[in-house]
Every structure is written in structure tokens, then in C-alpha cells.
Amino acid sequence: MARYNSTTITVDKRRRFRVYKPTMYPSIPMKDSDTFITPVVGEKLENLANRFYGDGTLWWIIAKANNINDSTVISNTLKRVRIPTEIQEVLQKLDELAY
């Protein structure tokens, strides 16, 4: 699933440009099955998503679960990062929010 599959695009006919509706990501509750790691400084969320989910485009799940909204690169080695492992429910909620 690509990150922008659920992004709605409309065209402003007066000004003739595309307008993107923001994607509303679902909340990700903590579960007993979640994994916690201490990443290396400079590690990208995309790489973590690829390692744990087999799909780098799901980096936003890790970002949302850890309240990371300003960067896709880990900048602090002392911070533990939560990796949600049961993501099917999250992806299903994303599809429901898109419609």
C-alpha cells in the first residue's frame, strides 16, 4: 500500500491547480504485542518499516505510534521506539477514513 493511495486530489477550476486533501491517520493504541527498539542515530523510519513490515511506505505507522511528526529520521539514541506489530487493523481503519 503506497502512502498516497488514500489522498484525495481535487482541481480548483478557477485557479487551475490541484488541491490535496490531508490524509487523516488513525490512532494506534498500544498493544502487548508491540516491539520496542533503541534505534541508531540517523536511522530512517522508512528503513525500520521495511525491516519490520517488509514495506518502507508504512513508515507513518511508526511515526504515528511514537508521536513523531517533524522528521522521518531518528535523531536521539536514548529514545525507545515502539513498533506496532499488528498493523492490519490500522490499515483497515485508514481505508475507512479515506471514504
What tens digit of pLDDT does each residue of 60-97 get? 999 999 988 777 787 776 578 999 999 988 888 887 77
Q: Is the pTM of this model over 0.75?
A: no
Domain borders along the chain are 24-98
Residue 89 Rama label (left phi>0; alpha psi -120 to 50; beta):
alpha
Q: What is the reported pLDDT for 56?
A: 92
Q: What percent of the chain has pLDDT over 90?
A: 35
Q: What is the reported pLDDT for 89?
A: 87
